[in-house]
């Protein structure tokens, strides 16, 4: 696990959320309880709280959580930040939406832990709950994600299965990159 505290000394490290993600959540009628696993500095959590969602963000970086909470308090948002291990969290039944943005990589050393996490979320989220995953569309990652959800024994309806391009720019170094992502959102039916 990377120590993001040192990276998050650069505020707004990963920039703005994907426009496609914000567009999807803007169109949902009910602004419900959402948990953002691995929220980092809160780029998604803050934007979704601004839309009216009651957001809880969990990350192992105290620096990132403190930055997110500072913005939340300044703007009066419904946003709670918790420093903790996303793999140890269990209370998915308390949320209507679980968001994992760039948290799953399905590398050999993390494969079981990450697929177990998806399975745990699938089992515990309430009926009609949403699981939203933004994942790099490289190698077998998207297939592993979809297979894990399909093999959970739970019936899900696919609400979104789209591609997007993440544009990253480090202003200090001048480094720029574009990465293809998949945004996959499912709704628990049973």
Tell me the whole-structure pTM to 2 decimals.
Answer: 0.89
pLDDT band per the 50, 70, 90 thresholds, residue 20: very high
Are 128 and 99 a contacting pair, CB within 8 Å? no
Please give the torsion angle defined by the CA atoms of residues 38, 56, 127 and 144, in that order, rounded to the nearest 10 degrees.
Answer: -10
Instruction: Please report the pLDDT score of residue 9 as a whole number.
Output: 63
List, for residues 138-177, the tens digit of each pLDDT value.
889 999 999 999 999 999 999 999 999 888 776 776 777 7
The full set of domains in the chain, from first to last, is: 32-166 (3.40.50.150)
Which residues, in sequence order, are bridge partners of residue 82?
Answer: 58
Are 125 and 95 a contacting pair, CB within 8 Å? yes
pLDDT band per the 50, 70, 90 thresholds, residue 4: low
List, for residues 24-80, the tens digit of each pLDDT value.
999 998 889 999 999 988 999 999 999 999 999 999 989 889 999 999 999 999 999
Among all chains, which residue has been given the structure tokens 């601004």? 50
Please enumerate, as own/partner, the contacts of 29-34 that have beta carbons within 8 Å and a separation of 24 or more: 30/96, 32/96, 32/97, 33/94, 33/95, 33/96, 33/97, 34/95, 34/96, 34/97, 34/98, 34/99
Q: Is 83 exposed, middle or buried (0-12, 13-18, 19+ CB in 10 A)?
A: middle
């Amino acid at each position: 696990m990377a120590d993001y505290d040192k990276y998050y000394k650069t505020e707004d490290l990963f920039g703005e959320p994907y426009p496609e993600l914000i567009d999807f959540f803007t169109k949902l009628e009910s602004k419900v309880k959402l948990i953002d696993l691995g929220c980092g500095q809160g780029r998604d959590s803050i934007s979704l709280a601004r839309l009216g969602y009651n957001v809880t963000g969990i990350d192992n970086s105290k620096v990132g959580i403190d930055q997110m909470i500072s913005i939340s308090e300044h703007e009066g948002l419904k946003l709670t930040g918790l420093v903790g291990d996303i793999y140890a969290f269990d209370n998915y039944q308390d949320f209507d939406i679980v968001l994992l943005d760039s948290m799953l990589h399905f590398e050999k050393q993390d494969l079981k832990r990450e697929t177990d996490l998806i399975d745990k979320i699938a089992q515990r989220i309430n009926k009609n709950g949403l699981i939203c995953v933004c994942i790099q569309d490289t190698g077998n990652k998207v297939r592993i994600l979809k297979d894990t959800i399909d093999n959970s024994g739970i019936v899900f309806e696919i609400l979104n299965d789209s591609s997007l391009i993440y544009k990253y720019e480090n202003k200090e170094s001048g480094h720029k990159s574009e990465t293809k992502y998949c945004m996959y959102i499912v709704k628990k039916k049973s």
